[in-house]
Amino acid sequence: MFRFRKLLLTLFIIGFSYLNAFSQRTEILLDEGWKFSKGSFPNAAMPGFNDSRWETVSVPHDWAISGPFDKEIDKQVNIITQNGEDKPSEKTGRTGALPYIGEGWYRKSLNLPVIKANQKVLLQIDGAMSEPRVYLNGKLVGQWNYGYNYFYIDITNEIKPNNNLLAIHLNNKAKSSRWYPGAGLYRNIHLIIKEENSVDQWGISITTPIVKKEFAKVNIKTKLTGANIRLVTQILDASGKQVAIDTAKSIFGNEADQTIRLSNPNLWSPETPYLYTSVSNVYEGNVLKDVVKTRFGVREISYRAGTGFSLNGEVRKFKGVCLHHDLGPLGSAINTAALRRQLTILKEMGCNAIRSSHNMPSPEQLELCDEMGFMFLAESFDEWAKAKVDNGYHLYFDTDAEKDVVNLVRATKNHPCIVMWSSGNEVPDQFGAEGVKRAKWLQEIFHREDPTRPVTVGMDQVKATMQSGFGALLDVPGLNYRVHLYQEAYNAFPQGFILGSETASTVSSRGIYKFPVVKGIDKQYDDLQTSSYDMEYCSWSNLPDDDFVLQDDKPWVIGEFVWTGFDYLGEPTPYDASWPARSSYFGMSDLAGLPKDRYYLYKSRWNKNEPTLHLLPHWNWAGREGQITPVFVYTSYDSAELFLNGKSLGVRKKDNSTPQNRYRLMWMDVKYEPGTLKVVAFDSNGKAVKEEQVVTAGKPYKVVLTADRKEISADGKDLSYVTVSVVDKNGNPCPTATNALKFDVKGAGKFKAVCNGDATSLESFVKPTMKLFSGKLVVLVQSDKKGGIIELSVNGKSLKSESIKIISK
């Protein structure tokens, strides 16, 4: 059983103008003024190197996302064993068909404030793809291999007050990933100046070993450097009011261990993500030397045979999704507004958990999950010692795995959102005794660094893990698919519960429907799309309804993480060998973040705060008059009546005859005729309570713009996502429109990117023109630092144009 309370480390950030007032610790974000070039430059680390012709960029930066798409990029001839393949074939678009392969250099000049005699200077890199080699004033000062990990370097002895040159070399090998990894300094870089007498970097560990309604026990372990120091720790509530304070009684081995009583605590949960702040004040005598602020949440987790997973004493199931790290048209470059939009869309669906697949999450993603209320399964590796791809993590496993896990845990363990670690995903090491040893070794490292959380592995070779003991040794046995083996695994494993660590892998293209409507495994079509009737899946996977049955009927199944919440770049299954497919079809929402029909199937089951009623397909089927065109309804209600042009097509009620009949309302014999298709839902008393309709639209007439946020921050980074669609003269959406559109942004911002969600589109994300896909696309508008009005104008041939104003301040 695991119990835990957790707090997130947030560094005390101060600007240059406040340096004298807060001289104890300064954090500087190194985001602007970088020079970048792709290629091999032997002397680029040296101060005298001429970079005047290099591109000036801001970090985070992904050098590959601007394209172009190219079939020849990272073309692989191999066997994907995870897909059940037994012979090699050519794979195109597997890593997104974007130019991420090769070397790249970043250079930046650094002029620092005065560094005092007893101060230290650290450089922290949250992620760099890949194999970063860090040079300061021409000298190699640090390096790392794993592009998804965080690391920091002590550069105190190499830094000068002025005229420093920071240079970072990156190298992305071909055949190093199974999806689009991105390229460049894609996460944030921090410069930290602190006193010698101070808190160690990542040196605070906060847990809550006792949580009751009346009080919570907050345990804070603080690693310190220096001598003759005193530690005073405050706890602030969400409003900033001090609610507890304690002075460490003693410091043993440079670590203070404090237990602080917190009266009448507010507990952290997805519904109430309440955050406290611990303020660690380090004194030498009466002189304040360091201040570190750490956000945390008071909560308890437990995993028990019989009851499964509990949060704060309440049994609950994970209603989770898997997410790759790319942000669609932004690529891998981290952006908080983009992450927040993703999580907002998932929250509205009723999602309560995220799995970082198959890599270590960004600090910004964890911070948002703390704030917005998502439980988190933090994953580490997609490979151990045995290879999936030629140049994957297996090259570093023996030398780097321990230090990579250590950095993951120490950098993130104070986040209340994290409720579980994963040491791997579908690793080929599941077979044999060596794999069992590796699983045990990694799990013990996690336990040593954090004894409060359990460890899982996403297992796809379930039979093998039953026989070898691999699955039995894990804290949480995670099954990727294999719904037919759940009962056998539950009987075989001693833990008394099973987690659906990866589920469904149903495929669909937003707004695309195929006939006849039947279950299909690895179905392929000439247009390289998949059907949004949500009846198609992969050879190793299943339909969502099969997982719903297990989640609802088996109390020992503790939840699921659906593959995936959003489409992602690369891995275009079932079209791995077909061009121009270059991104996935698995998402509940497409690459632009627009919900597919399947989004509403999950919402009807997961979102308990508002009723769901969603009707599909669209009703523009010229040429199908009189042909069978089935109608599905995804709803939280048990029954509904369907009408076509005012005529009832009957009432359907959910039943247990098939998994689909249990969770969907289906009219399989509807014959298409243009007009109005309407559904009326009934409550448990048979009263009509909600209705939805779709209408046959005429020709596209006018552009319609809808912004997710009409007011954004003037920080040069914030984004407004503007959904662009077209309607006919009567205002009816045109669901099959493919008009080419142009975008123009004026005022206090700029055009950032555009995406239509079409997995086969080769149009650039960064050029201000694109075709609609299934009647929609999304334009990203970014603020500048001056503030004011941003105006986006959209026009297309034979369409009435439209504009929208966004305030930046």
Q: Write out the catalytic residue numbers.
A: 426, 502
Q: With CA atoms as reference, report the closest residue to 558 among 488, 476, 636.
A: 476
Return all residues near 254 (Cβ < 8 A) that are at least 6 apart: 223, 224, 225
**DSSP 8-state code for residue 396:** T
φ, ψ of residue 712 to 5 degrees: the values are -130, 170
CA distance 61 to 327: 12
* C-beta of residue 668 within 8 angstroms of C-beta of residue 515: no
Return all residues near 732 (Cβ < 8 A) that are at least 6 apart: 695, 696, 697, 698
Pairing of strands 318-323, 353-356: parallel
What sign for the dihedral angle of Cα 381, 382, 384, 389?
negative
Q: Which residue has the tokens 């009647």?
A: 775
What sign for the dihedral angle of Cα 336, 342, 347, 352?
negative
* C-beta of residue 385 within 8 angstroms of C-beta of residue 438: yes
φ, ψ of residue 202 to 5 degrees: the values are 60, 30
H or E element that contains 546: helix 544-553
Task: Give alpha helix (H) positions in 677-804.
Answer: none
Residue-wise DSSP of 648-659: EEEEEE--SSSH
Q: With CA atoms as reference, report the closest residue to 546 among 497, 481, 591, 600.
A: 481
Q: How many CA atoms lie within 13 A of 255 on its CB side?
A: 9
Task: Give alpha helix (H) positions in 215-362.
Answer: 336-349
CA distance 104 to 126: 17
Q: How many CA atoms lie within 13 A of 712 on its CB side?
A: 33
Q: Which two tokens stand for residue 744?
A: 């123009």
The one-letter code for the residue type at 346 is L
Q: In a 10 Å sphere around its CB, with 0-12 CB exposed, 13-18 middle and 19+ buried, how is residue 420 labelled? A: buried
CA distance 690 to 555: 32
Q: Which residues pair with 310 in a beta bridge?
A: 302, 315
φ, ψ of residue 636 to 5 degrees: the values are -80, -10
Q: Which residues pair with 681 in a beta bridge?
A: 640, 690
CA distance 600 to 612: 7
Beta strand residue intervals within 403-556, DSSP E: 418-425, 455-459, 476-480, 498-504, 520-521, 536-537
CA distance 488 to 462: 10
What is the radius of gyration, based on Cα positions, of the chain?
27
CA 54 to the chain's CA centroid: 31
Q: How far is CA 49 from CA 39, 168, 390, 568, 625, in A?
A: 14, 14, 34, 38, 69
* C-beta of residue 506 within 8 angstroms of C-beta of residue 473: no
Q: Which residue has the tokens 């009408």?
A: 643
Cα–Cα–Cα angle for 549, 553, 554, rounded to 5 degrees: 110
Return all residues near 143 (Cβ < 8 A) that are at least 6 apart: 131, 132, 133, 134
**Torsion angle of C-alpha atoms 49, 52, 53, 56, degrees rounded to 10:** 110
CA distance 763 to 754: 9
